[in-house]
Structure 1
């Protein structure tokens, strides 16, 4: 064991030895007879990752990751080990495209349903993946050596899939390019193969979902927040989609809900700004989620666009699965009787996720504002499912999203005027499939019109003594009027009160006008909570209970995860600070009034402690905070008022 000194180094040597043994056993024929042997190797491998010496030496801080990341023997054996896990599942991964290609079952299919083996294998895999993910944390940018930072960059081959004309790497600056490429390849393949293995294991069936989900949630969910778009997109396609598709109904709470909550929180936080800046400024200004890109400015811009598009398509593909018929057998048709979300959720994954507010704040930025035809086509089943749920449950929150965000975006989608940011970006990304996607999106708009607006328009026609129009004709007229209004808004100049040094954007103003009434309602609701200090409303549950029932019903606020509740919590924190300040000011004023009326009058030469004693006898304080208010009042009276009035208050 030359070169190995100390407990941690011995553990590293043992890990390499056990990994090589596992790989060798996997290479031997007749593997069905060696299940017990493989398990006996997985047990100590898992144990190594739990040792305090291992954690202290290699995992406790990001700068210590390099002890493993730069160890070629360790990385090579881990790479082969994870590959052997994939072989056990009888599948290969095509790394260049992210697609899965299932092969026929191997001779070890007899123990694919072994929960013990699955638990051991997946536990080790999750620990390895978490270790790899740690190399992408924020701190790693400063703590890891240059060779690892270079290895984390997108390879030329990866960039070539987005931009075929790109064929250059950044300058080596003395860094070993061959070794950088080897480390980068291993990092990428360990990660993607690991994702694929988990997805393939989900196809095993119920035995997979009977495993302890807490380890998966901790290892996978904790790492989502700092994943780059490209990483998380592959994670969605290779792991999330198989997990969602195969998860039994009774396991949704332990698996699907917790995984998707973190994913959609990530999307809510990053998609809005990425697409907002891309549509209106031409750059998706979320550099932390692109990785350290390199190259000329024009190619960087193209690469950012492609990365955002690819990630949006991955999310839309997941949304299509969430809305699939197989997972939503209980989703009512548009003409079915009304129902409640809780009863629908028993046989509809969409209903279940909405019941638990898994999606956070719905926004069309989650779908790329329909800019990309491929993402749009993937997301269409999800939109139709939302409409069916909104109609079946009379859910006000869904209805407002459909009418105030989805429908206006559909109108902008069909607008060809150059004033629209969506229209400009769509023209840059146009493709041969655009016509079919446009027809389908317009049909979606017609469905929304039929459900929510046609009867309203018909009543208006009757009131005007005008012949009632068919739904199709009514939609065409309504749609054309909306386009005219959109063009009118685009033609307006900035109002006089708009700051001269700022750039006027009519689309921002139009979106603000739609959102402003909702914001004012939230503000009014918080403004009525003058008892916020006594009721301790900063506690989320207390705030939820305190809301006006009509307000809660209107916006379907039924859990702490509702986005409006998060906004109102921030409003309430500002209100609490204001109430505390005003209360403190009022109490100090009361104390000052008492000091003014004290007999004998206060003199500048009086001892503050004596003044406090007199004030306390006069006030008989009831509050624990009174002493602080009184001290401030005494300080003001002696140091300011007494100076102004020659030592006497009158």
Structure 2
């Protein structure tokens, strides 16, 4: 290749002399030192951007240096264009100029002045001369690359090797420039751009509007030419080996999500199409994965949102990606349609190239009947295909996102459809070859439903309405190709053995030939859809203030089995958020479930739904209460025993030095447990401590702990109930309708009424009105048998309450009544003892004998002798004769009586030692009754487990069809 020839438009002037060029070559950028003081800046005031001047008319030192660099940058760009326009060859000079340009972009003053903020970039891009010179360099490079490619094609000559070092210098500079242009749309930068640059970012609505903003003109042209240069470089032999730098491209494309449709379309057409066409397979991992994956996933997401909202809400609800359009509402809407269609066509064109024979080794262009030949069946999964198939490579690495039909515009545009059909055909064939579950789900849930709606021109559906709205011209050829794609999808499903495929294609797939079966099947599918379209909305659906949409209802019914499956997995996990990482939770899911729905990563949308619906708080509380019960049961037996009179902090310090199996129990849980032990157990149920008391009623204390923790768990438990918020937003009303209907037509309503009535009955029992009847008539062991339930319903107020629930409450109440009765009897016996002076002498002597035997040395290890046992029995016979109180009350009576004897005011001492604990417990019992409320009954099972009892057990085929 010879020297560059000038091939740019008239906006680039070249009138400098070669002497000026030589002078420029002698510039040393690092020598541009400027005095930081205001007086040293006067000579450079004309080059400082006006917006950089502070209140006294001066700029910061680094800004002044940056402006000097900008002036040099402009001169160098002009010199580059001028040198390339000469007939003489100045190869060394060109490289020197480019090297200096790159040096400027590495200077800290350049970055700090022009690249960090929106204000900085506004100053840079509002410099018309900068834009003009930069455009000249980029456009000249584009034209020369085009000319070089034409020479290669027409004359078979390879490009000049001199072009290599030139491109190595131009590409880094140009990619940095493109990165700056891209960043103008980034939120952090866009928030403080100047009005001029904001205006330049707006898309043109007409030729007149375009001419009014030259900055916009330059920015768009630099962007477009820059993209073309990159794409042309990719066509150079060996470009991916020696010329292109992947890291630079990654930095440029980091702002993909902030690009508008018009920019993404240009990027796809100019850069990504050449990338797919020219990237050798050995570089797929390095280039395709890093560049294509973010683009394809972003396109899938934004196109789905745009097309779905356009179909069902009348407007593509992605205003950001259209840019700031101006004009009438009608004109803006037309522009949106045009931008969306153009972008969709470019994306589909990219898919067409991805699925081309050149990128897939002709593997998927054989007729579908050949899917059983040895070449095809040799592949077992996508990974085995990926070495020879680009589409297989991208699928194996999950580059396409969710693959919803919005990606192809729902087949409403012929041009987009022509390119999308080969891609979808390749997916169907890959599904047959690899048996990949993701592809099967794509065919079942996305491809076939959309194809059937598209090829039925009489079906009142969203796709048909959108075709009419856009005035799309429907080609017979495209229709035939869509029917053929539908046929191939049918054949693929017919060869499958799983239940979903069988349910889709029906039972007559082996009767007659495929074509006849397909036509019958397609006719049946159309008939079923027409029936669903005519199906009236439920009578009460209007209460959700949403217009009935039969397609949403159909989609909901198809989604329902998956959703119930997700709920079952969540229910089976039984763990809190803190128990496992996301990957560990994924591994805990049923392999059959994850395989069926191709859930293979924590980024999978179904897995994200599972994480969002998990009962984090409820599960954590259940686990916490169970751990607390076990912890309390452990520490209450630790010797020396923890006493109710112990200091809280002392107990905590002591536990820290004891090795227990609860080392992972959180410190605040330990503290809460100790508070419960001291304040809710020992304070009320063990007002007097003695080792024999603890050993005597240890089972009671364990029962108290069990009741308290079970009651708390019962209160905090949150059932796993289907929640409309788990569904896609457009399906929420249909999910809500289904859930409410299901609950209202099941035992759930009866269970709710019964439990509400049961709560009222327990509140009534808490008043104590039936305590005497329960005490006199029934023991806790007999309560399920001989009780007269009708006599306990209080004049039939609770006559509708299930008798089994009444019995459960009475049994629980009987246990409380029995405990209180024991305390009351104990209090009466001690009161009688204090009042009977005749017993005082003998019992005082007994106390002395006990003291001599070490009975009251409770801090020492107590050794119970036969003598002490006899003394305790004597006290029991004297004080509690005729009462069958547990032995620990006898021990407590000895301790209490000795304490009373030591006081001068025996009745005052009695009140303090016996009366106050009695009154305290009596006042606490209603709270204990409420706090320990928990039951096991079928109605509670329904309310606490509606998923299994209502939604899983009652899931019938009618739920799966509309």
Work out whether residues 413 and 472 of structure 2, in 8 Å CA contact, stay in contact via their aligned partners in 1.
Answer: no
Is 1:245 the counterpart of 2:277? The answer is yes
Work out whether residues 344 and 416 of structure 2, in 8 Å CA contact, stay in contact via their aligned partners in 1.
Answer: yes
Report how far residue 561 of structure 1 moved: 5.6
Question: Of 154, 177, 190, which aligns to 2:203?
Answer: 154
- How big is each residue's C-alpha offset from its partner over 1:558-584, in whole Å with a ceiling of 9 and x where there is no partner? 55665545555555xx45555434433
Work out whether residues 636 and 642 of structure 2, in 8 Å CA contact, stay in contact via their aligned partners in 1.
Answer: no
User: Mean alpha-carbon deviation: is it higher for 237-246 or for 630-639?
Assistant: 630-639
Match of 2:139 in 1: 83
Which 5+ residue runs of structure 2 have no aligned equivalent?
Answer: 1-43, 49-60, 686-916, 926-962
Match of 1:111 in 2: 161
Work out whether residues 575 and 620 of structure 2, in 8 Å CA contact, stay in contact via their aligned partners in 1.
Answer: no
Work out whether residues 277 and 284 of structure 1, in 8 Å CA contact, stay in contact via their aligned partners in 2.
Answer: yes
Match of 1:507 in 2: 551
Is 1:537 the counterpart of 2:581? The answer is yes
Q: Distance in 2 between matches of 1:585 and 1:220?
A: 53
- How big is each residue's C-alpha offset from its partner over 1:4-46, in whole Å with a ceiling of 9 and x where there is no partner? 563222221221122122111121224xx43332222222222
Equivalent positions of 1:409-424 (< 5 A) are 409-417=450-458, 419-424=460-465
- How big is each residue's C-alpha offset from its partner over 1:128-179, in whole Å with a ceiling of 9 and x where there is no partner? 000001111123443111121111111133xx7xxxxxx7x5xxxxxxx97x
User: Mean alpha-carbon deviation: is it higher for 510-519 or for 466-475?
Assistant: 466-475
Work out whether residues 411 and 454 of structure 2, in 8 Å CA contact, stay in contact via their aligned partners in 1.
Answer: yes
Report how far residue 252 of structure 1 moved: 0.8
Match of 1:363 in 2: 404
Alpha-carbon spacing, 1:406–1:526, altered in 2? closer, same or farther (3 Å): same
Report how far residue 297 of structure 1 moved: 1.6
Equivalent positions of 1:325-364 (< 5 A) are 325-329=357-361, 331-332=363-364, 333=366, 334=368, 335=370, 336-337=373-374, 338=377, 339-340=379-380, 341-364=382-405
Match of 2:69 in 1: 11
Equivalent positions of 1:339-488 (< 5 A) are 339-340=379-380, 341-417=382-458, 419-453=460-494, 468-488=511-531
Report how far residue 207 of structure 1 moved: 2.7
Report how far residue 589 of structure 1 moved: 5.4
Report how far residue 239 of structure 1 moved: 0.8
Q: Distance in 1 between matches of 2:459 and 2:451?
A: 16
User: Mean alpha-carbon deviation: is it higher for 121-130 or for 464-473?
Assistant: 464-473
Match of 1:609 in 2: 649
SS at match of 1:136: coil
Question: Of 21, 26, 37, which aligns to 2:84?
Answer: 26
Alpha-carbon spacing, 1:50–1:517, altered in 2? closer, same or farther (3 Å): farther
Report how far residue 492 of structure 1 moved: 2.2
Work out whether residues 250 and 290 of structure 2, in 8 Å CA contact, stay in contact via their aligned partners in 1.
Answer: no
SS at match of 1:320: helix
Work out whether residues 175 and 249 of structure 2, in 8 Å CA contact, stay in contact via their aligned partners in 1.
Answer: no
Report how far residue 52 of structure 1 moved: 2.3
Match of 2:100 in 1: 44
Which one has a bigger Cα radius of gyration?
A: 2
Report how far residue 292 of structure 1 moved: 0.9
Report how far residue 330 of structure 1 moved: 5.3
Q: Distance in 1 between matches of 2:398 and 2:598?
A: 10
Which 5+ residue runs of structure 1 have no aligned equivalent?
Answer: 94-99, 161-166, 170-176
Is 1:193 the counterpart of 2:225? The answer is yes
Q: Distance in 2 between matches of 1:590 and 1:399?
A: 48
Question: Of 526, 531, 536, which aligns to 1:493?
Answer: 536
Q: Distance in 2 between matches of 1:272 and 1:511?
A: 16
Q: Distance in 2 between matches of 1:557 and 1:287?
A: 32
Report how far residue 70 of structure 1 moved: 1.2
Question: Of 187, 192, 196, which aligns to 1:143?
Answer: 192
User: Mean alpha-carbon deviation: is it higher for 495-504 or for 58-67?
Assistant: 495-504
Is 1:236 the counterpart of 2:268? The answer is yes
Q: Distance in 1 between matches of 2:240 and 2:91?
A: 18
Report how far residue 592 of structure 1 moved: 6.8
Taking structure 1 as the reference length, the TM-score comes to 0.84
Alpha-carbon spacing, 1:466–1:628, altered in 2? closer, same or farther (3 Å): closer
Count of residues paired in the alignment = 616
Work out whether residues 494 and 502 of structure 2, in 8 Å CA contact, stay in contact via their aligned partners in 1.
Answer: no
- How big is each residue's C-alpha offset from its partner over 1:573-622, in whole Å with a ceiling of 9 and x where there is no partner? x455554344334445556778999977647xx75424534666889463
Work out whether residues 320 and 378 of structure 1, in 8 Å CA contact, stay in contact via their aligned partners in 2.
Answer: yes
- How big is each residue's C-alpha offset from its partner over 1:65-91, in whole Å with a ceiling of 9 and x where there is no partner? 111011122122112121122123135
Q: Distance in 2 between matches of 1:108 and 1:12?
A: 37
Alpha-carbon spacing, 1:600–1:201, altered in 2? closer, same or farther (3 Å): closer
Match of 1:173 in 2: none
Q: Distance in 2 between matches of 1:331 and 1:285?
A: 39
Match of 2:620 in 1: 580
Match of 2:942 in 1: none
Work out whether residues 91 and 101 of structure 1, in 8 Å CA contact, stay in contact via their aligned partners in 2.
Answer: yes
Report how far residue 287 of structure 1 moved: 0.8
Q: Distance in 2 between matches of 1:63 and 1:418?
A: 54
Alpha-carbon spacing, 1:621–1:562, altered in 2? closer, same or farther (3 Å): closer
Work out whether residues 367 and 379 of structure 1, in 8 Å CA contact, stay in contact via their aligned partners in 2.
Answer: yes
Equivalent positions of 1:149-228 (< 5 A) are 149-157=198-206, 181-211=213-243, 213-228=245-260
Work out whether residues 330 and 344 of structure 1, in 8 Å CA contact, stay in contact via their aligned partners in 2.
Answer: no
Work out whether residues 357 and 561 of structure 1, in 8 Å CA contact, stay in contact via their aligned partners in 2.
Answer: no
Question: Of 620, 630, 649, which aligns to 2:670?
Answer: 630
Work out whether residues 420 and 507 of structure 1, in 8 Å CA contact, stay in contact via their aligned partners in 2.
Answer: yes
Q: Distance in 2 between matches of 1:352 and 1:589?
A: 54
Match of 2:344 in 1: 312
Report how far residue 418 of structure 1 moved: 6.2
Alpha-carbon spacing, 1:3–1:534, altered in 2? closer, same or farther (3 Å): closer
Equivalent positions of 1:215-294 (< 5 A) are 215-294=247-326
Report how far residue 388 of structure 1 moved: 1.5
Q: Distance in 1 between matches of 2:359 and 2:416?
A: 21
Alpha-carbon spacing, 1:545–1:49, altered in 2? closer, same or farther (3 Å): farther
Question: Of 313, 317, 333, which aligns to 1:301?
Answer: 333
Q: Distance in 1 between matches of 2:553 and 2:395?
A: 30
Q: Distance in 2 between matches of 1:465 and 1:375?
A: 34
Work out whether residues 319 and 379 of structure 1, in 8 Å CA contact, stay in contact via their aligned partners in 2.
Answer: yes
Q: Distance in 2 between matches of 1:154 and 1:459?
A: 51
SS at match of 1:156: coil
Work out whether residues 42 and 120 of structure 1, in 8 Å CA contact, stay in contact via their aligned partners in 2.
Answer: yes
User: Mean alpha-carbon deviation: is it higher for 487-496 or for 323-332?
Assistant: 487-496
SS at match of 1:511: helix
Report how far residue 197 of structure 1 moved: 0.8
